[in-house]
Amino acid sequence: MSSAALALSEVLFAGSSIFLFVVTAYANIEIEEGVVRGDLPFSERDSVAERAPLSADLTTVASISR
């Protein structure tokens, strides 16, 4: 594979990783706001409380994009 094609594939992969991170972060914010307002049932409230903090997601994205 040529170096230009390799560079393009790395840029596309990094871009897709960043896009997925932003979408996930937005979804987490929406879920947490739903819990505060009381829109979500109790079972979903429990699963939100058990999730890992957002910093774990940042570490995962950083390790994947390397």
Question: C-alpha angle 52/55/57, rounded to 5°?
Answer: 70
Phi, psi (degrees; rounded to nearest 5) at 38? 90, 15
Question: Total structural domains in the chain?
Answer: 1
Domain residues for the domain of 38 are 3-64
| pLDDT 10s digits, 4-29 | 888 888 888 888 888 888 888 887 77
Is the pTM above the cut of 0.75? no
> Stretch 46-64: mean pLDDT, rounded?
54
